């Protein structure tokens, strides 16, 4: 982790205040004065500000049931950030592991542990995401096969990775994908001549939204956290 981030994580200081202290030569790492805020440090390092040793606060892991008309960003835009729904200290220091569109509901994971969220969002990890999808038109019989083999999304190189489709009824399906391209589910159905009219994320890896009410959040259990540690 960057040294300035570590200082913020273990004190009440803002990033700007941390940088100022660094510049003034008030920070030591293993007894050596360090001024570069981007220096990589580890919790095992002996990090002191004005001679006082810092201990990082432990990381937090949260699951939220996202409502429509909220966005998965740390900054409010047309709609407010989902982070406003989570009443914990310094929530805007946390980040969202995998975005949902403003009109999508469902499972959102929020943390301040970048290594953990990397295991969810890195394309290399191929983490499974399960979406319940409501369609404008009845599902065509060849869509399942097309999604298994991959479809061409407009503006992308190569086909989508194999995706699993399970029909619920004529216009409702469960789709499992291992990528997270921009508007991926909507674009996959557009690629086969259909249109998504409702989208809800039910599961990320083995973490399930289950009966968490809309707009509510809870801390993940130790077991859930360990799935991506």
Q: Decide: is 183 part of the binding site for ligand URA (CB under 6 A).
A: yes
Catalytic residue among 4, 36, 46, 101: 101
Instruction: Annotate 58-119 with DSSP letters as a single string.
Output: PP-EEEEEEPSS-BSSSS-SSS-BGGGG--STTGGGSEESS---TT-EEEEEEES-HHHHHH
Minimum Å gap between C-beta 122 and ligand URA is 17
What is the spatial distance between Cα 36 and Cα 13, in angstroms, rounded to a whole number? 17
Minimum Å gap between C-beta 210 and ligand URA is 19
Minimum Å gap between C-beta 82 and ligand URA is 12
Report CA torsion sign: 218, 219, 225, 228. Answer: positive
Report CA torsion sign: 125, 180, 95, 28. Answer: positive
What is the spatial distance between Cα 186 and Cα 201, in angstroms, rounded to a whole number? 13
Q: Decide: is 186 part of the binding site for ligand URA (CB under 6 A).
A: yes
Q: Is 69 one of the catalytic residues? A: no
Site for ligand URA in 86-115 (CB under 6 A): 100-101, 104
- What is the total count of residues that contact ligand URA (CB under 6 A)? 8
Q: Decide: is 132 part of the binding site for ligand URA (CB under 6 A).
A: no
Q: Decide: is 199 part of the binding site for ligand URA (CB under 6 A).
A: yes
Give the phi and the psi of residue 196 in degrees, each rounded to 5. Answer: -80, 125
Minimum Å gap between C-beta 132 and ligand URA is 11
Binding-site ranges for ligand URA (CB under 6 A)? 100-101, 104, 183-186, 199
**Which residues have a catalytic role annotated?**
101
């Amino acid at each position: 982790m960057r040294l300035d981030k570590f200082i913020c994580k273990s004190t009440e200081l803002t990033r700007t205040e941390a940088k100022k202290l660094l510049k003034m030569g008030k920070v030591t790492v293993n007894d050596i004065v360090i001024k570069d805020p981007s220096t990589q440090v580890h919790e095992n390092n002996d990090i002191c500000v004005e001679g006082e040793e810092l201990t990082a606060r432990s990381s937090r892991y949260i699951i939220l049931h996202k409502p429509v008309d909220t966005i998965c960003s740390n900054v409010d835009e047309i709609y407010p950030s989902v982070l406003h729904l989570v009443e914990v200290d310094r929530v805007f220091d946390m980040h969202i592991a995998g975005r949902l569109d403003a009109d999508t509901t469902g499972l959102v994971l929020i943390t301040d542990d970048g290594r953990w969220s990397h295991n969810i969002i890195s394309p290399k990890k191929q983490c499974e995401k399960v979406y319940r999808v409501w369609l404008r038109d009845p599902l065509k019989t060849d869509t399942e096969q097309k999604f298994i083999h991959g479809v061409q999304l407009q503006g992308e190189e190569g086909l989508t990775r194999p995706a699993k489709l399970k029909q619920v009824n004529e216009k409702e399906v469960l789709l499992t994908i291992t990528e997270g391209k921009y508007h991926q589910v909507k674009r996959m159905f557009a690629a086969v001549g259909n249109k998504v009219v409702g989208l809800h994320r039910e599961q990320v890896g083995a973490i399930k939204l289950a009966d968490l009410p809309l707009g509510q959040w809870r801390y993940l259990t130790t077991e859930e956290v360990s799935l991506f540690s």
